[in-house]
Chains A and B, each alone.
Chain A
Amino acid sequence: MLHFLMRRVLIALPTIILISIFVFALQKLLPGDPLLVLAGEERDPEVLEFLREKYRLNDPIPVQYLAWIGNALQGDLGTSLRSNQPVTELMAEKLPVTIQLAVMSMIFALVIGIPAGILSAVKKGTVTDYVANVVALSGLSIPNFWLGIMLILLVSVKWQLLPASGYVPLSEDFWQSLRTMVMPAFVLGTALAATLMRHTRSAMLGVLSADYVRTARAKGLSERVVILKHSFRNALTPIVTLTALLFGELIAGAVLTEQIFTIPGFGKLVVDAVFNRDYAVVQGIVLVTAVGFIFMNLLADMMYFVLNPRLRGQ
């Protein structure tokens, strides 16, 4: 397994480098001069030249890239052109927000998606199965922004049950923090629940007709044990893998949902940075989320080993 992981990491490295080159290059090709943003009203050529030197914008692009990646490897992602804050600091501020949102969304997705998937597999071909599939399909096709806006209108504006927007850190006020996060998490979570439900269903269908499930029944085990232990345990691998990947996507940012609920997470940070031509921030975020995504992939691969006795210990 260690050998396998090493190989995966070795494959991941060039992927990360490629992504960083791509993003770096793309930024340089975009129209608009970040310095004009930075310098504001000040249009003195000497000031501009000074800034250009400072941010090494006169160097050839490959040299700029090498300088950037060299610093990045030492944990320095540069400073924001706009706020003059180190990029790492900016991200460290936003990361807990995004992670909290991702975790809460994932909980919604798992709690809804997995039982629904198991149920519709066990009840295959019945009304229950049909209803679950229709709901899942609607879950997939209803856009998040629409659901988000509808929820705000109903729950916050009409019934005044939950705050429509804003963010309170967990450490400041635990319950208020959950209250502000629950709607966006629900919006993101239901969309993922649909995906999870369909994968759970097909994994369970593959397992329910297995010979060992028949053996479990022949032993006289209750139907609950047959399904939740003997069947579900064997359907778990694709579900866990998918969960890790979906979580990676959540970290990478739920731009629209964060915008709608004005949650100051990664999604919002990256959108603002793109509009402001805040290169360092965009690059930093892309790099970090790419690494995060690849890490979740690795985790998924590892779970694959952990869950399969046949592969364990190899």
Chain B
Amino acid sequence: MPVSGTAKSQDLASADALLTLKDLTLRFKGQTNDVVHSVSLRVRQGEVLCVVGESGCGKSVTSMAIMGLLPGKATQISSGKLSFLAQDWDLATDCLPTEVRGREIAMIFQEPMTSLNPSFRIGDQIAEAVQRRRGNSRTEALERAEVMLQRVGIANPKQRLRAYPHQLSGGMRQRVMIAMALANDPQILIADEPTTALDVTIQAQILDLIRDLRDETGMGTLMITHDLGVVAEVADTVAVMYGGQVVEQGPVAEIFNNPQHPYTIGLMSAMPRLDRPGERLAIVPGTVPTISNMPEGCRFRTRCAFATAACAQRPKLRDVASEHEVACHFAPLETHVKVSA
């Protein structure tokens, strides 16, 4: 299978991590099980990390925890260390300060139609982000907003500054969100399914845009998606999540050509063809148990064709190849299959 970005990810394999998340575990108050359990992620400079997994596996919750956007009263973070900008934050006790949020790390959301404030002009919404961060005057901030609109490919940026969100299409609104997120030249962009709500041609444009901006600025990107077509197109590394855990991660070529976790293998065989992007996965047989019904041990047990009694023990993530980690007792599978045969 042709996968882009392979060469690049090899080049960057040694590059320093820009942001690392270690051992994030959290639950919502009143629930009996962790929604996200011991998740670790790493984003490097100039690199796109794609987080994939079925709906409800905790992708958005993980990214919001990084941004400090989860409702404090309703969330209980029991562990999680965030390293970023040569600083560490213990997410269990504090979160990213507002000076960092929106400046060094920015986020765009799954819902372009509702993520802009309907009451304010988009120029002011972008300018506001700039002004807070750089201490610019309003005029300077608006000039910056205009430059950003131009950069994300919006025609007539000067007039568009005065538009209200309802006057723009979904694709345009997502571009505005991207312009807003990138207005302060962040080092990290978190994009939570930035194209899911858009139609196919617009999807491709937005992905191209993110990739171009990445190349231009060297920012690291954490991209969440359902869509393996998107992964093949933009990812350098991939983290596969299932039931609030990372079950496999590694360079994109490894994940596509040599998947090791039974869940990833299921995803791959269920993968839509690249010439028909936009199709969802989730064709792995069976359904995800709800958080409260997650089995002990390996959370994939209820759907796994390879499951044995050993799987009642929780498998740890471990290396099967360089940079390629899998959380399954029987990985690497070939070895195991050979041994048992």
Contacts and interface: CB of A to CB of B under 8 A. Distances in A.
A230 B69 CA distance: 16
Contacts of B180: 215, 219
Given A210-B114, A211-B109, A219 B101 contact: yes
Given A211-B111, A310-B164, A220 B132 contact: yes
Interface in A215-249: 215-222, 230, 233-234
Contact of B117 (A215, A220, A307): A215
The number of chain B residues touching the other chain, given as a range, is 20 to 34
Contacts of B116: 212, 215
B14 to A, nearest CB: 31
A218 B95 CA distance: 12
A31 interface: no
A217 B98 CA distance: 8
B173 to A, nearest CB: 11
A217 B69 contact: yes
Given A215-B177, A219-B180, A309 B118 contact: yes
A220 B109 contact: no
Contacts of B117: 212, 215-216, 230, 233-234
Interface in A292-314: 307-310
Contact of A212 (B107, B114, B166): B114
Contacts of B73: 125
Contact of A310 (B69, B118, B132): B118
Contacts of A309: 118-119, 164, 166
Contacts of B177: 215
Contacts of A234: 117-119
Nearest to A210: B114
Contacts, number: 68
B332 interface: no
Contacts of B111: 211
Interface string B48-76: 00000000000000000001010001000
A218 B102 contact: yes
B106 interface: yes
A233 B107 contact: no
Contacts of A221: 98, 102, 128, 132
The number of chain A residues touching the other chain, given as a range, is 20 to 34
Contacts of A214: 69, 109, 115
A214 B60 CA distance: 13
A220 B115 contact: no
B144 to A, nearest CB: 14
Interface string B151-166: 0000000000000101
Contacts of B102: 218-221
A309 B115 CA distance: 16
B213 interface: no
B216 interface: no
B100 interface: yes
Contact of B115 (A125, A211, A233, A310): A211
Q: Is the interface of B mostly helix, strand, loop or mixed?
A: loop
B17 to A, nearest CB: 22
Interface in B148-187: 164, 166, 177, 180-181
B133 interface: yes
Q: Is the interface of A mostly helix, strand, loop or mixed?
A: helix
A302 B109 CA distance: 34
Contacts of B67: 218
B106 to A, nearest CB: 7
A3 to B, nearest CB: 20
A233 B100 CA distance: 26
Contact of A220 (B101, B118, B164): B101
B166 A310 contact: yes
Interface in A172-218: 210-212, 214-218
Interface in A255-314: 307-310
A233 B114 contact: no
Contacts of A210: 114
A217 B115 CA distance: 11
B114 A211 contact: yes
A215 B173 CA distance: 13
Contacts of B94: none
A309 B163 CA distance: 10
B261 interface: no
B44 interface: no
Given A125-B73, A309-B119, A310-B164, A218 B106 contact: yes
B103 interface: yes
Interface string B72-110: 010000000000000000000000001111110011010
23 contacts: A211-B111, A211-B114, A212-B116, A212-B118, A215-B109, A215-B177, A216-B117, A217-B69, A218-B102, A218-B181, A219-B101, A219-B102, A219-B129, A219-B132, A220-B98, A220-B99, A220-B101, A220-B102, A233-B117, A233-B119, A307-B119, A308-B118, A310-B164
Given A219-B132, A308-B118, 15 more contacts: A125-B73, A212-B116, A212-B118, A215-B177, A216-B117, A217-B69, A217-B101, A218-B69, A218-B101, A218-B106, A219-B129, A219-B180, A230-B117, A309-B119, A310-B118
Interface of B: 67, 69, 73, 98-103, 106-107, 109, 111, 114-120, 128-129, 132-133, 164, 166, 177, 180-181
Nearest 4 pairs of A and B residues by beta carbon:
A220-B102, A220-B101, A309-B164, A211-B114
